[in-house]
Structure 1
Amino acid sequence: MRRIEQLLYLIKKGGMVILEQVVFGHCLVLVALGLSLWGCSDFVEVDPPKNTLISETVFDDAATVESALANLYFEMREQGMVSGSFGLTTGMGIYADELDYFASNADYSQLYQHNVIAGNNLVFTWWSQAYHLIYSANDIIKGVEASENLTDDERKRFKGQALFVRGYIHSLLVGVYGDVPYITTTDYVENNDVNRMAVGEVYERVIADLNDAVVLFEESGMDATGRILPDAHVAKALLARMYLYTKQWEKAVTHSTELIGAFVLEQDLDRVFLKDSPETIWQLKADADFPKNTREAGQLIIQGIPGQTYALTDDLLGAFETDDLRRDHWVNSISDGDGTITLHYAYKYKADLNETVSLEYSILFRLAEQYLIRAEARARLGNITGAQADLNRIRNRAELPDTAFGTLDGLMEAIIQERRIELFTEQGHRWFDLKRTGRADKVLGALKSNWKPTDVLLPIPEAELETNPNLLPQNNGY
């Protein structure tokens, strides 16, 4: 795509529309719905229907702010790194060792074959959409802080959600690209000249935003009905993950323990991914019209051979232990008409996109991860018995015996293995685990013929470096 085509690609066509700066200060002339619109650093001025964001009116009452936030969650579900169609689940699934790729899209083929270039359109789209969401979150933060019409509880509730989104998206960016800018303003002039921050500083800022969000949520008394909006529990779930990633073991234990006490592990494996699962901490609600269920199911379930896009790798299938019920309940297979080819696919989400009722939402945080976070953190703190107990809660649900490992090294291997099986094809967990534990080179180097040690980071999009040279130097290897 040319630059203008890449920008146009990021804009949702219909429904709730945001037309504004999407990438560090670029201005763009757009024609939409028969109106000539000039988009720059602010939201476009049009008549204020409930489903459109306009800076001057969106903060007049709670309903319009809720619409603005709903738009963020919609875009997370449909576009960018969090998307069930084009996000980390499939993109980093083929980049790591979870999914084989059979289609011919050049951008995805580069990920699968580990020959990514800085002009890769998917790499550009992930980056652009991420900062578009961050910009929108910052606009909401700025607006609710200045609003004179919201109640104090509403202001805290809305700011908490926007802070969480800002922290969450930055946490994904730093995991994929390494050093990245941490954007906290809507000033497009300032944003156009930002520098990249070191990974450690980005994580510090993510954690700060999340802690601020927790305070705001708790002070406002927010408790998300249906677990479809971020609340204090969701912020703490991401905090537990961030503390694990930054090796703050005690804090990881504290936050995961609180969540383990607040949620219930679903024992029926066929119900774990239903929208009313008691172990879901946060999920993105399906559309009222279409799709009524998840994009993940639409991407991962193979309808026929030929015609498949993704399938589970033999390496992942071989990692399941004998008699692991997750192999029976979360993996399915299909053969071609001659019965000569059989492929396996992720079957966590089972509801077809064309279902007339909503059965499943896209789950971003669930309790099983918190058990595994606590197991790892406890092991690092020398609490071997506690780590074994947490690991066994996940293993026993799959009708596997208690772990046999009682040393730190053995237990860490067992925990990483359990994370691989429990969290496969969920938002790139496998990739992030390989990267953060220093295993990517060893594991993927043995499986991917083009793998290079520098592949632990994706490139900063070429178009962004051209626009803002302060983002240089490019990541090694590109």
Structure 2
Amino acid sequence: MRNNKSSKQYISFRYYTAFLVISHILVFIIICSMTSCSDFVEVDPPKNTLVSETVFEDAATVESALANIYYNMREQGIVSYDICADMGIYADELDYYASNANDLSLYLHSVTAINSNVLSYWTNAYSLIYAANDIIEGVNKSKALNADEISLYKGQALFIRAYLHFILTNIYGDIPFITSTDYVTNNTISRTPIQDVYDFIIEDLNLAVILLDSKVLTDERVKPNRATVNALLSRVYLYTENWELAEVTSSLLVDEFELESDLSKVFLKESKETIWQFKPDASNVRNTYEANSFIIQVIPGNPYALSNVLLHSFETDDLRLEQWVGRFSSANGLTTLYFPYKYKALLNEEESLEYSIVFRLAEQYLIRAEARAQLGNIIGSQSDLNTIRNRAGLEGTTAASKDAVLEAILHERFVELFSEQGHRWFDLKRTGKAGIILGSVKPNWNPTNVLWPIPESELELNLNLFPQNSGY
């Protein structure tokens, strides 16, 4: 969790490999029993001490191991609330008012290879990738699990591996694509070119689609299923400019799910448009870190506030400005700050009202709108774009040409997906607009900032990770 980041010590990539290959499943299970994770995953952690091989002889322990991956994804690192805040200040969504040196360097675009955020994202992601790989290897060798169980657990682990590599490559560029727990090999592995990383991601996801049942695994959509895999797959096709498959895959989800007509219900735990979300553990954490960290309750005090760039991007009468943006004024009335107010329930409230949403249907409409515009289907693109605009109380778009519609979609993604999973930064980066837009609001902007540096400590341990990203 963000507030504890500065006090954490991050183990290097190399040490993770040697450690995790032997014991990470056991460690996850122990952590689970210590942190009330059983409430989060709805699976009781095993009471006895197990070695890795034994884990894969029992379905309940495999479920516990998978659930603890989700737990750790939710708690910190590259898929957690941290990425919402870090990418928000790295882009033009959020202003930063605190003094943490590592966070401040993100906001000011003065990141170096020794920044602890840069290292923590890398090590956190690869530790979870190793855990996912161990599950894939373990269930493949298991003699006790039945075919349905093997498909279910392997499908989830493949999705996890694909998702983490997807975010890693969008932050660092060329990265090692890790598919085993062989620490001898992985300690000297080289970086995989981005296009090859995407090919491996798509391969994992296509296999996961086959393995995972189309039914929702829980009523609360807290475990990935086929729809979750397709949600990521459509995003990957968008990022790789495979417009045909982006349209086809997003259409599957548009047909399967339903948008919430009421904006006030979009981020509730029972939202109809949620595809996948992280469930709180219901004992220490009843709602979301997003609400607890973004909602301003005192000035000075909160490190984040919405930027004027974002605030001025909302059109008149946009209901999202009313429903999803909060405001707080100082006691003397001289300062008023605005904050993301999509999640409204604080951690310590008595009831779990909101879960942290990772994928939701609105993104799929915007993916399909962009794919259709790129394919020359302007009317279809306008229809999808207007579905999102009309829900926000706005009239249909006036954009008519391909370029105008694409610009309108980028704008709509800004005001619809702000403070969610780093969408704004990744949109600016993938569309080539980062320099155009951030160059005027980030004094230290440099074109090489489109990638973060590879952590210096990892380069020292594995020379095959060289060369360092340009600009660092």
TM-score normalized with structure 2 length = 0.92
Cα distance, 1:27 vs structure 2: 7.5
CA contact (8 A) 2:17 2:130 kept: no
Structure 1 position 53, deviation (Å): 7.2
How many angstroms does 1:23 deviate by? 1.8
Aligned length, in residue pairs: 451
Specify which of 193, 200, 205 is matched with residue 195 of structure 2: 200
Following TM superposition, by how much is the alpha carbon of 1:88 offset from its aligned partner in structure 2, in angstroms?
1.3
Partner of 1:9: 9
What letter matches 1:106 in structure 2?
A
Code of the aligned partner of 1:50 = P
Measured after TM superposition, the shift of residue 6 of structure 1 is 9.5
How far apart are residue 60 of structure 1 and its match?
Answer: 1.6
> How far 1:82 moved relative to its partner?
1.2
Alignment of 1:332-371 (within 5 A): 332-371=326-365
- How far apart, in 1, do the equivalents of 2:298 and 2:418 lie? 22
Structure 1 residue 114: deviation in Å? 0.6
Report Cα offsets for 1:427-473 as digits up to 9, x if no partner.
Answer: 10000000000000010001010110100000000000000010000
Alignment of 1:53-132 (within 5 A): 54-84=51-81, 87-132=82-127
Q: Which residue of structure 2 lines up, in the alignment, with residue 169 of structure 1?
A: 164
Aligned mate of 1:259, from 253, 259, 264:
253
Higher helix share: 2
Measured at CA, do residues 128 and 406 of structure 1 come closer, stay the same or move farther in structure 2, by a change above 3 Å? same
SS of equivalent residue, structure 1 residue 283: strand
Give the unaligned 5+ runs of structure 2.
Answer: 31-44
**Which structure 1 residue ranges, 5 or more long, are not aligned?**
11-20, 29-38
CA drift of 1:83 comes to 1.5
Match for 2:172: what amino acid?
Answer: Y
CA shift for structure 1 position 287: 1.1
Partners of 1:80 and 1:129 within 8 A in 2 = yes
Percent identity between matched residues is: 56
Q: 1:297 aligns with which of 286, 291, 295?
A: 291
| SS of residue paired to 1:358 | coil
2:34 maps to none
2 CA distance for matches of 1:22 and 1:464? 7
Contact 1:22 1:132 in 2 (8 A): no
Letter in 1 for 2:406: M
Q: Higher relative CO (CA 8 A, sep ≥ 6), structure 1 or 2?
A: 2
Query: 1:140-159 residue pairs with structure 2 within 5 A?
Result: 140-159=135-154
Q: Deviations over 1:362-409 (max 9, x none)?
A: 000000000000000000000000000000000000010000111001
Post-superposition offset of 1:8: 6.3
In structure 1, how many angstroms separate the alpha carbons of the residues matched to 2:20 and 2:161?
20
* Rounded Cα–Cα distance in structure 1 between residues aligned with 2:375 and 2:217: 32
Displacement of 1:225 in angstroms is 3.0
SS at match of 2:233: helix
CA drift of 1:112 comes to 0.4
Distance 1:71 1:26, change over 3 A: closer
SS of the residue aligned with 1:181? coil
Contact in 2 for aligned 1:375/1:386 (Cα 8 Å): yes
Residue matched to 1:36: none
How far, CA to CA, are the matches of 1:461 and 1:245 in structure 2? 25
What letter corresponds to residue 216 of structure 1 in structure 2?
L
Distance 2:251 2:8 in 1: 44
Q: Which stretch of structure 1 is more off in the superposition, 296-305 or 160-169?
A: 296-305
Q: 1:261 to 1:221 in 2, by over 3 A?
A: closer
Distance of 2:357 and 2:395 partners within structure 1: 27
Task: Check 1:215–1:351 CA distance in 2 against 1; reply closer, same or farther (3 A cut).
Answer: same
Matched letter for residue 204 of structure 1 = D
Partner of 2:39: none
- Contact between 1:237 and 1:370, CA under 8 Å: does it hold in 2? yes
* Residue identity matched to 2:114: G
Question: Which residue, 2, 13, 16 being the options, matches 1:23?
Answer: 13
Within 5 A, what are the aligned runs for 1:212-227?
A: 212-218=207-213, 223-227=217-221
Q: Secondary structure at the match of 2:55?
A: coil
Deviation track 1:39-82 (CA, whole Å, cap 9, x = no partner) reads 46311668986277741221121100000001000000001111
Report the alpha carbon displacement of residue 222 of structure 1 after superposing the two structures with TM: 6.3
Inter-CA distance 74–228: structure 2 relative to 1 (3 Å threshold)? same
Paired residues of 1:43 and 1:53 also in contact (CA < 8 A) = no
Do the aligned residues in 2 keep the contact of 1:240 with 1:373 (CA within 8 Å)? yes
Q: How does 1:415-434 map to 2 (within 5 A)?
A: 415-434=409-428
